Structure 1
Amino acid sequence: MKAIGPKLVIATHNAGKLAEIQELLQPFEIECVGAAELGLPEPEEIGNNFIDNAELKAREAADLSGLPALADDSGISVDALHGLPGIFSARWAEDEDGNRDFGRAMERVWREVEAAGEEAGHDAHFVCALSVAWPDNGQAESFEGRVYGTLVWPPRGDRGFGYDPMFVPTGHERTFAEFDPVEKHAISHRADAFKKLIAALG
């Protein structure tokens, strides 16, 4: 894989996500700077899948900054809903004004799962796509991580974010929102994708 250091743009305006990525890349002595710090806009996510959207965000950040850029796109896919909300996971939480309420989004997911019938089951998985793009030739490399589990109702736990309170990973009895953050990071979809990225970095 082409070198991505010594400075890398993290194509996110989420301070928590930026800090998490900085920590994961710390052993490689790569200086990370967030898109918000550089005044970069948040592009419209018009891709057909997680990797499309991650590459779109990474390429735009690389082009505008002149630096290599890393972006991720993630969400939850529910078997009974034929993969939805998928790439629309965040949008399912938005109201008419663009404000996000994941409590409402989880209620919608559960309502539609119940409507699909008992035979459809409650299986689901989280997906995280990571893409690195370079400014000189538009090249991008992508890595996808997943974690499988089951949906539960009502939601449990006050840690994590998004759909974590209704997702129990396979082999566990607690939801992601009941996990200690360090414990969750060890098995999450983002951790899976980062393992593949770090392996490519050598």
Structure 2
Amino acid sequence: MKLVFATHNLHKLKEIQKLVPKNIQLLSLTDIDCFEDIAETATTIQGNALLKASYIQEHYHFNVFADDTGLEVEALNNAPGVFSARYAGEHKNDADNVQLLLKNMDGKVNRNAKFRTVIALCLEGTTYTFEGIAKGTITQTPAGCNGFGYDPIFIPEGYTSTFAELSSDEKNRISHRGKAFEKLLHFLAQEKIIKE
């Protein structure tokens, strides 16, 4: 079965490819020659995931799933949230986003935060959503060179290392995206589309 993951992000694609069973051929937006800029204009993470997935199904006629992720920081009233990718501007630069977040956290005692991922699946004309959450804290300085985005400044609950210091296998086991994708795979197995 062919299933499109609505992303050009190679980091995300590699993370998910490790979890997909062999009977699913995972395709990226690049693989289906989709290079349009799909506007993420929704006010929620779930809304943006639904926008991306429904756009691909409508225009390319593939079964598809799309994800959107936000980092919600308690001391910043759950910002950057839906604006996580473009927190420091529309150029969507990871290093700039991290630096701005650390600057805005300067002097804040409460470092609690959580990553939230929503996956929207459009399958044979019906839409489903799956959510994954990873709770943790924001560090004072970046650490680690694995991962992407805010990974170097996020320590997941129960750990002393940032997401960027963990191996991709370790991160997948506990990450927001890993948890949401696990729910997606379980659903596909229940629907007899894949074997668990």
- TM-score when scaled to structure 1? 0.86
- The residue aligned with 1:25 is 20
Question: Is 1:39 matched with 2:19?
Answer: no
The offset of 1:16, in angstroms, is 3.1
The residue aligned with 2:48 is 53
Q: Distance in 2 between matches of 1:123 and 1:16?
A: 25
Structure 1 residue runs without a partner (length 5+): 1-5
Quick one: which of 55, 76, 80 aligns to 1:81?
Answer: 76
Q: Which residue, 150, 158, 166 being the options, matches 1:163?
A: 150
Is 2:66–2:121's contact at 8 Å kept on the other side of the alignment? yes
Within the candidate set 8, 12, 16, 2:7 is matched to 12
User: What is the DSSP-based 3-state SS (H/G/I as helix, E as strand, rest coil) of the residue aligned with 2:128?
Assistant: strand
Q: Distance in 2 between matches of 1:156 and 1:72?
A: 26
CA offsets, 1:145-176, max 9 Å, x none? Answer: 01000111111111111111111111111111
Structure 1 or 2: more helix by fraction: 1
4+ long deviations beyond 6 Å: none
Is 1:127–1:144's contact at 8 Å kept on the other side of the alignment?
Answer: yes
Is residue 91 from structure 1 mapped to residue 68 from structure 2 by the alignment?
no
For normalisation by structure 2, the TM-score amounts to 0.89
Q: What is the root-mean-square deviation in Å for CA atoms of aligned residues?
A: 1.7
> Which sits farther off after the overlay, 59-68 or 6-15?
6-15
1:93-112 per-residue CA deviation (whole Å, 9 max, x = no partner) reads 446xx2x4322212211222
Rounded to whole Å, the distance in 2 between the matches of 1:47 and 1:62 is 18
Question: How many correspondences in the alignment?
Answer: 188
Counterpart in the other structure of 1:3: none
Structure-2 residue corresponding to 1:124 = 113
What is the distance in 2 between the residues matched to 1:22 and 1:152? 29
Amino acid at match of 2:76: L
13-22 or 48-57: which moved more?
A: 13-22
Does the aligned pair in 2 maintain the 1:9–1:62 contact within 8 Å? no
Aligned AA (1:161): F
Mapped to 1, the partners of 2:81 and 2:98 lie a distance apart of 13
CA displacement, residues 26-80 of structure 1 (integer Å, 9 cap, x when unaligned):
25x1222211222222311011211111111000011111111111111211011
Identity of aligned residues (%): 36
Give the equivalent residue in structure 2 for 1:194. Answer: 181
Structure 2: gaps spanning 5 or more residues:
191-196
1:90 match: secondary structure = helix
Matched, 1:112 2:104: yes
Whole-Å Cα distance in 1 between the matches of residues 166 and 37 of structure 2?
30
- Tell me if structure 1 keeps the 8 A contact 2:102–2:141: no
